[in-house]
Structures are given as C-alpha cells and as structure tokens.
Structure 1
Amino acid sequence: MRLLHPLAVVRYEHHWTHQDVADIVARATNGSADRRKVWKWEHWGTEPDAESQAALATELDVPLGEVFRLGWPGWLPDGGPIHADFPWSTAGVLKALDDTLERAMPDRRGFMKLGGQALVLLAGQWLAEGVGPVAAALAGGRIDLPLVEELEAGLPRLRRMEAALGGPRARHLLHAELEMVTGILKEASYSDRVGQRMLLLSAELARLAGWSSFDAGLHTSAQRYWTSGLRAAHAAGDRALGANIIKSLSLQCYDHGLFADSLALAAAAVDGAGEVTPRTLAMLLLLRQARAAAACHNRAECDRLLATAETQMARADTGHDDPAWTGYFDPAEFHAQTATCHADLGRPQLAQHHYATAVALMPAAKHRDLATYTVQNARTHTALGDADHAIHLLEAAIPMITAAPSQRNAARAAAARAELPLPTRHPKVQRLDQLLATLSA
C-alpha cells in the first residue's frame, strides 16, 4: 500500500478513516465533522487551522511545542525521527543500521523528514570526523575473507536488478541483504580487514536501498538508508563512497526544489571525496554540482563545471581503476545529465541534442533510464513548439515505465503531460491520458 502523506500513514497505523479524524477534531473544537476537509489535508496540500492541529496533537500525545516547532505535517508521528546524531564510529554505524532496518521498510512517508540544512550539517560532520578502528563483536562465528568475497560478488547482480526492475520492486531484496550483512557485523568475529570490507558492503547496500526507496517516492526511507550508509562508508575509510551517498542526498534536495542545499551538498561531496578517478570526479562534478548550479540559474558556473567534467570524461577510459558503483556512468549517462543542465538553463535545443544522443547510446535493457530521458526529451520538444512529437515520445516512454516501475518517472511523465499546449479534448491528448492512467493503476 502506498501512503504518501504523513496523515495517511498516521490514519493507517491507528486504523482511522477520514471521518474518524474529522470526528476527533470536531469533538475538541465544537466544529463540523466534515471528512472532506481531512481528505483535502492529505490530497490538496491544505493546512489545518491551529485549533484542528492542536486537537489532533492531543489525541496523538504530541506536545504542542512540537506542533509549533515542526509545523504541518512535520510534527505528525509517522515512523519516528531520523537520528542523525549517532557517533561516527563502528558502534555508531551498527546503531544507525539497526535504526534504519527497524524503521525504513514500513516507512511510507513520501516527504523528506530531514530538511536541506540538516543534511548540509550532516555532510559537514562527515567531512570533519576522523576514522577510528573497526571493532568486531566477540561472540559468534569467525568470518573470513572468502565469505566476504562471496557476499561482494552479489553486488553487480543487485545493481543490475535495481536498474532493470525499478526501485519499488528491488527495495525489499536490498533491505534483506543489508539486514543479513548488519547481523554479521553485530554478531560475528573478524579481522580488521574483513570488518572494513563488511562495512563497505553495508554502505553500498544502504546506498542501493536508499536509491530504490527514492525511486519509489519514499523519501524518508531513502534518507534513513543513506544517512546510515554514510556512517558505514566513513567508518570503513572510503571517502569516495561517502561522497557518492552525499551526491544522492544532493539529488533528493534538487528534486524537492532545495537548490541551494543541493549545491552545498554537491560541493561537500567533491571536497570530501579525496583522490578519485577521472570518471568518479566527472560524475560527482556533473551529476550534482553542475545540475545544482543550473537549477540556481548560475550559467557561468554550470558551464565551467560541464567543461571540467567533459575533460575528466575524456580521460575516463585510460586504465583507471574506477569504483564498481561508477559503472552506470557511461557516455549515455554523461549526455543525459548534460542535457538536464541545459534544460534547466532554458536551452531546449542543446538539451534535445544531448537527450537524443543519450537515448541512442543507452542499452535497450535499461528501461528506467530510457524512460527518464525519453520523457525529458519530450519536454524539450514541447518547449520548442513540437507538441505532436512530445506526445509520441511520452507514449513510447509509458511501456518503459511499466517494465521498470518508478514513481519519479511517473511524476515526470505527468509533469510533461501538464506542459502540453493542447486542450484536454484533443484526440491525441485523450489517448495519452488513457495510457498515463495505466501507470496510476
């Protein structure tokens, strides 16, 4: 079941209907018990008045001080807070992973619980904290290097499955894999080297689980995985992997319109990555800093970053030992991200050229990425006045989204449909709307 608004999560957990909530508020305020207003709070984004919020908070045992401090809907108790104050140590990693595993999978929140500034503060701590020794549990069986290598060997398969099947389908498997690795870290004994490899494995699994949750539109779950994965990467001493997780948090801020915070996080990722390969540097520069700069309408900075990233990409295939998680960042992805920068800067012709190149270079099996950039290319055609071809591209993208379900791609398709300058009664628009309705179903 998908419950995107925090109030929907609260109702689900308490077995309340919209009418139940309306009755709770009405009893306390002597107002009307109209369930339609509760429905509007969830679906229209309207905010209850102060009296209604106070009545609901009293029923939920939430202090009024928290209501005023956090605001609507942030104060609703929908799965507990994201703890960002665990120690930057192995013990802190295990506490963070335990907290994530307990709360992330049932978390149905479609909003960010940690705001952009809180994430920037977290990135600052990551930059400043030193790396301590890896501590193993004293109980349990001994874990040796061959077993770790077998666990690591499964990562390429998990990455391919997540990319091919989409986040909503893959996140349960990734959560289970992370739970298994966390259990080993907590209960087994191992050498420092094996412990470091296990921490790196948990960090990458948390990154992938976070990405699949993000793709499914479950933003609080994504933050839970990413913040615990960041600690695991830090404890293992892998600055580049930590930077990649910070980069993901930057993209989340970008998607929520927090462009200044997105840029700050992207800069922190590059600053803290350490010595990295040209492909890794291009990915961190292009994917986050350039896109965040474009979203902030800083043309000169975006163009400078794009040029730097292009120089790095030209050096990417010259024998460097790239991290495995950079494998997706190929020429197709480079063109796609370059296109997005130009689209954000109001350059639809340049964007269209790069999107078309990206789609032409991308393997047919990458349904989700093909859908993303086909939809984005449709938007550039709309911006250039070619609505007919935009509709054609959107229709072509729908089977790709069906093959690899993605809440983000479904939302992109809906946004592209809303930009079409054609009336709803137009036959092509009516057919497109029917196809888009299948995504919601």
Structure 2
Amino acid sequence: MRLVHPLSVVRDAQDWTYQDVVDIVAKATKRSADRRKAWKWENWGVEPDAESQAALAAALGVPLGEVHRLGWPGWLPDGGPVRTSFPWTMAGTLDALDDTLEHAMPDRRGFMKLGGQTLTLLAGQWLSQTPDALAAAFAGGPVDEQLVEDLESGLPRLRRLEAALGGHRARLLLDTELATVTDLLKQASYTEKVGRRLLRLNAELARLAGFASFDAELHAAAQRYWTTGLRVAHAADDRALGANILKSLSLQCYDHGLATAALALATAAVEGAGDVTPRTRAMLLLRQARAQAACGNRVGCDRSLSEAETQIARSTTTDDDPAWTEYFDPAEFHAQTATCYADLHRPRLAEVHFTTALDLMSPAKVRDLATYTIQSARTHTALGNADHAVHLLERAAQLAASAPSHRNTTRVLTARAELPMTKKDPKVQRLDELLATLSA
C-alpha cells in the first residue's frame, strides 16, 4: 500500500479499510456508510464535513481543538513530521543524518509533508548560516584521501543505476551507501580536508536518494533526504551542491503546483550558489525560469532563459564543472526551455525545442527520453495534432516500461486524458492497452 494521503497513513496504522472509516462516521452521525466517501477524501482531495471529522477524531483520540486548529488533513496522526529544526552545526548535521536514515526508507507516503513556507524558511537559513569548522577527528580509525577517492568513484555508477533502474529500485542501494558514509563521519578520524570530502559525498548521496524517492513518488522521504542533504552540503561549505539540492526541492514544489514556493527555492539556489561555472549557473537559471513560467511570469522567465543561454555560450570543455552537472547537456537545455514555453502556453515554441531535445538526447537516457516524449505529445495535443500525440505516447509508454518511473507513469496517464479522441478509436485502444500494462 503506497501512502498517498494522511488518511492512507492512518488507515495503514489502524488496519482500516475505506468501509471501516465510513462505518465509524456513520455510527456517530447516523448517516449512510458509503465507502466511496472515504475514497474521495483520500484520493480526490474532498474534505469531510465537520461532523464526519469530529467522529474520526474521537475514534483516533485527537482533541477537537486540534481538529479546529490544524484543519483537514493536518490534524490526522500521519506518522510524524519531517524535522528541519536541527542546528546548523556538525552535531546537528549528524543528528539530521541519523533521523533521515531511521525514517526515510520506511516512509511510503506519496504526499509532501513540508509546506512552501517551511521550505522557503529553510532556504533562507541555508543562505544566511556560516559553516562551523569541521572537528579535527572522531574516535575510530583514520580515513585517508585514497579511501575517500574510492568511495567517490562509485558516484557515477550510482547515478547510472538510478537512471536505469528507476527510483523505487535504486533507493535502497543509495540509502545503504549514505549510511556507510554517515558511519565514517561519526566514528572515524580524518583531517579537515578529508572530512569536507566525506561531507560532500554524503550530501550528494542524500540528493540522489532524495531524487530516487521523488521518482518513486515517495515525497515525504524525498524531503527527508533533501533537507538533510542541504544541511550536510552546508557543513561541507559547498554552496553549489546546496544550490543543486534546493533546485530539487523547487522541482518537487513545481510538480505539486506550489509555484510560489518553487520560485523562492530556485531563486535562493541562484543567489546562494556562489562562484560557479557557467554551465552550473545556466542549470540553476533554468530551474528559476521553470518556476517563473509556472507563476505565469513571462517577462521573468524570458530573462532567465536569456541569461541561461548567455552562460551556456560562455562555458568551455576546460571548465571545472561539478560531476553532478554531467546530465545537463544541450538536449537537457532544450528540454527545459521547451517545458517553460509549454507552461506559458506557447506550444509552437515549445515543440521546436522538444524536437531539438529529442533529436540530441542520448539513447541511453531512457527515462529522460520518456519524460520529454510525453511532454512533446502534450504539446502536439495543444496544437491540434492528436494523431501524432498518440504516436508519441505509444513510444513514451514503451520507454517508460524499460525504465520504470512512477512520475512518468503519472505523466503519460495525464497526457492520455487530454487526448480529444474517443475510446473507440483503434489508435486510442492500442495506446490504452499499452498504458494498462504500464500501470500494472
């Protein structure tokens, strides 16, 4: 059972079915016990009336005052918060890592726990805090630079595995690697230079584990990894890596329709990244552009896209780009630009860039190919090219089957629902058969 709503967490903890939920309400309110009501509360975002909430609160032992104070569904006892209150110190960083390693893997919640205001505050703290000096040594054996280099050499493999296997399969491996480096930080002895490298490695593993959880649509777990990764990057005094994690949090807010929070996080990333390479800055500017497009800010989006293009023109092959920018190639640049234009309802410009992106993209980037093929299909639907949209969605379904991604499954189903064609159309029937297999 994937926990898509606080009510699903409660049902899982109490071993309740939808029918159990409505039976509890019906007994207290003398109303009908139609299980579809509970399903709508959990899956459609329908809010129960005050009497129904009072009946549920009584059954769960939640005071009525908390129901009124927190509102639906905030008062539901859904397994505890994602903590962001750790001090911005080495000790606070290690406590945050322990908390994340304890809770992130069992966390099956598909909804976000942190709201936009909390995330924006976290970004502000990251911008303003001064890193503590790393303690000279911890109890335990020494860690030398060769050992750190060996650990770092595994990152490209982990990135490839996450992209090939999909987030749901890769997150256990990433969590295990994160725990290993955390144990080194806590128990080993090392110089300050080695310690900073361990922290950078740890922060990047947290970012990857967060993205794997995000791809699996386990959003609370993703927030645990990312908020902790931001703290670790801060302890390492790596502003660029912290900015990249804020960029990920911005994308999550974007996906959830929290455009204002997405923009605040993306802007903090651009402003706080420090002295970075042109390609890194272009990557951050494009995230800002996407958030501006989601806010309907056409002028701001065009300005950010122009600045990003200028930065790309300045980049050279001799730049010391961070390894995590490797994915950001010309194909990704055009794909991100296309997404901005799609969000601004400029489908013709969007399709020009989607076509370029798909032509340039490496066949090895199967998950990304699926993502942008779906986006291209939606653009063709908006342009009135429904037949070609069906063709693209067939291709996307095949790609998504070979590189599993919950996010892409959701995307392709959304794109299918936008098609202005009847279910009896043979092309649509063939597509629906593919999508049924993919959903299963």
Q: Shorter-normalised TM-score: what interval? A: over 0.9
Query: Given residue 257 of structure 2, which amino acid in structure 1 is its aligned partner?
Result: G
- Distance in 2 between residues matched to 1:79 and 1:183, nearest whole Å: 26
- Distance in 1 between residues matched to 2:428 and 2:289, nearest whole Å: 34
Moved over 4 A (4+): none
The equivalent residue for 2:327 is 328
Give how far 1:72 is off. 2.0
Query: Given residue 352 of structure 2, which amino acid in structure 1 is its aligned partner?
Result: H
- Distance in 2 between residues matched to 1:115 and 1:291, nearest whole Å: 19
Q: Deviations over 1:370-410 (max 9, x none)?
A: 00110111111111111000000000011111111112111
Query: Given residue 383 of structure 2, which amino acid in structure 1 is its aligned partner?
Result: L
Listed as ranges, the matches of 1:54-93 within 5 Å are 54-93=54-93
The equivalent residue for 1:225 is 225
- Distance in 2 between residues matched to 1:28 and 1:198, nearest whole Å: 56
Q: Deviations over 1:320-353 (max 9, x none)?
A: 1000100000000001001111111111111111
Give how far 1:281 is off. 0.2
Gaps of 5+ in 1: none
- Identity in percent: 72
Gaps of 5+ in 2: none
Query: Given residue 394 of structure 2, which amino acid in structure 1 is its aligned partner?
Result: E
The equivalent residue for 2:433 is 434
Q: Retained in 2: the 8 A contact 1:136–1:188?
A: no
Give how far 1:23 is off. 3.1
- Distance in 2 between residues matched to 1:320 and 1:278, nearest whole Å: 8
Listed as ranges, the matches of 1:283-362 within 5 Å are 283-286=283-286, 288-362=287-361
Structure 1 residues 61, 145: closer, same or farther in 2, change over 3 A? farther
TM-score, normalisation: structure 2: 0.96
- Distance in 2 between residues matched to 1:14 and 1:189, nearest whole Å: 45
Give how far 1:78 is off. 2.4
Structure 1 residue 106 corresponds to structure 2 residue 111: no
- Distance in 2 between residues matched to 1:231 and 1:59, nearest whole Å: 39
Give how far 1:318 is off. 4.2
Structure 1 residues 37, 131: closer, same or farther in 2, change over 3 A? same
Q: Retained in 2: the 8 A contact 1:5–1:42?
A: yes
Q: Retained in 1: the 8 A contact 2:203–2:230?
A: yes
Give how far 1:424 is off. 2.2
Query: Given residue 403 of structure 1, which amino acid in structure 2 is its aligned partner?
Result: S
Give how far 1:296 is off. 1.6
Q: Retained in 2: the 8 A contact 1:137–1:186?
A: no
Question: 139-148 or 149-158: which moved more?
Answer: 139-148
Q: Retained in 2: the 8 A contact 1:136–1:185?
A: no
Q: Deviations over 1:242-284 (max 9, x none)?
A: 0000111111111111112211111110110000000000000
Matched residue pairs, number?
440
The equivalent residue for 1:398 is 397
- Distance in 2 between residues matched to 1:374 and 1:349, nearest whole Å: 15
Give how far 1:64 is off. 3.3
Query: Given residue 178 of structure 1, which amino acid in structure 2 is its aligned partner?
Result: L
Q: Retained in 2: the 8 A contact 1:343–1:351?
A: yes
Query: Given residue 260 of structure 1, which amino acid in structure 2 is its aligned partner?
Result: T
Give how far 1:285 is off. 0.2
Q: Retained in 2: the 8 A contact 1:362–1:370?
A: yes
The equivalent residue for 2:379 is 380
Query: Given residue 239 of structure 2, which amino acid in structure 1 is its aligned partner?
Result: R
- Distance in 2 between residues matched to 1:68 and 1:390, nearest whole Å: 47
Give how far 1:55 is off. 2.8
Query: Given residue 301 of structure 1, which amino acid in structure 2 is its aligned partner?
Result: G
Structure 1 residue 407 corresponds to structure 2 residue 396: no
- Distance in 1 between residues matched to 2:65 and 2:34, nearest whole Å: 27
Q: Retained in 2: the 8 A contact 1:379–1:390?
A: yes
